[in-house]
Structure 1
Amino acid sequence: MEFWPEFLASSWGKEFVAGGFGGTAGVIAGYPLDTLRVRQQHSNKGSAFQILRRLVASDGPFALYRGMAAPLASVTFQNAIAFQTYAILSRAVDKNVASDDPPSYRGVALGGIGTGAIQSLLLSPVELVKIRLQLQRKTTDQLPLTTHRGPLDVARTILRTEGWRGIYRGLAITVLRDAPAHGVYFWTYEYMREQFHPGCRKKGQETFRTMLLAGGLAGVASWICCYPLDVIKTRIQAQSNSSVVKYSGIVDCFRRSVKEEGYNVLWRGLGTAVLRAFIVNGAIFTAYETALRCIFQSNDDNRAVVQAENAL
Structure 2
Amino acid sequence: MDSQVQPKETASLASWNQNAKEVTAGAAGGVAQVLIDLVKVRLQTQGGGQAWSTAKSIWVKEGPWAFYKGSLLPLLGVGACVSIQFGAFHSFRELLESYNRGITPGVDPTLSLRQFYLAGGAAGVVNSVVSGPVEHVRIRLQTQPHGAARIYNGSWDCTRKLTRAAGLTGVYRGQVVTLLREFHGYGVWFAAYEGFLGMAMHHQQKAREELPNWQIAICGGLAGEALWLLSHPLDVIKSKMQSDGFGSDQRYRNMRHAFRDTWVTGGCRALFHGLGPALLRALPVSAGTFATVEAVRKLLG
TM-score, normalized by length of structure 1?
0.83
Contact 1:197–1:210 (8 Å) recurs in 2: no
| Residue 240 (structure 1) shift | 2.6
Partners of 1:145 and 1:225 in 2: CA distance: 36
Partners of 2:94 and 2:286 in 1: CA distance: 23
1:16 alignment partner, one of 23, 31, 50:
23
Partners of 2:115 and 2:257 in 1: CA distance: 35
| Residue 102 (structure 1) shift | 4.5
Partner of 1:117: 125
Partners of 1:200 and 1:70 in 2: CA distance: 43
Partner of 1:67: 70
Change (3 A) 1:203 1:262: closer
| Residue 168 (structure 1) shift | 0.6
Question: Aligned to 2:252, what secondary structure does the other structure show?
Answer: coil
Partner of 1:40: 43
Partners of 2:250 and 2:205 in 1: CA distance: 50
Partners of 2:84 and 2:249 in 1: CA distance: 37
Measured against aligned partners, the alpha-carbon deviations of 1:121-177 in whole angstroms (never above 9, x if no partner) come to 1110011001111112314xxxx3134332111111111122111001011001111
Deviation larger for 194-203 or 284-293: 194-203
Runs of 4+ that moved beyond 6 A: 98-101
AA aligned opposite 1:259: V
Q: Does 1:106 align with 2:109?
A: no
Partners of 1:242 and 1:271 in 2: CA distance: 33
Measured against aligned partners, the alpha-carbon deviations of 1:163-200 in whole angstroms (never above 9, x if no partner) come to 11100101100111111111111111011122223378
Unaligned runs of 5+ in 2: 1-12
Contact 2:48–2:273 (8 Å) recurs in 1: no
Question: Aligned to 1:108, what secondary structure does the other structure show?
Answer: helix
Measured against aligned partners, the alpha-carbon deviations of 1:247-279 in whole angstroms (never above 9, x if no partner) come to 001111111122222321111111111111111
1:171 alignment partner, one of 170, 175, 183:
175
| Residue 206 (structure 1) shift | 1.9
TM-score, normalized by length of structure 2?
0.86
| Residue 65 (structure 1) shift | 1.6
Question: Aligned to 2:49, what secondary structure does the other structure show?
Answer: coil
Deviation larger for 90-99 or 59-68: 90-99
AA aligned opposite 1:36: V
Contact 2:74–2:135 (8 Å) recurs in 1: yes
Change (3 A) 1:224 1:201: farther
AA aligned opposite 1:18: A
| Residue 291 (structure 1) shift | 1.5
Deviation larger for 251-260 or 234-243: 234-243
Partner of 2:163: 159
How many residues are treated as equivalent by the alignment? 283
Partner of 2:146: 138
Change (3 A) 1:106 1:263: closer
Change (3 A) 1:158 1:194: same
AA aligned opposite 2:92: L
| Residue 19 (structure 1) shift | 0.8
Q: Does 1:56 align with 2:59?
A: yes
Unaligned runs of 5+ in 1: 1-5, 297-312
| Residue 13 (structure 1) shift | 2.3
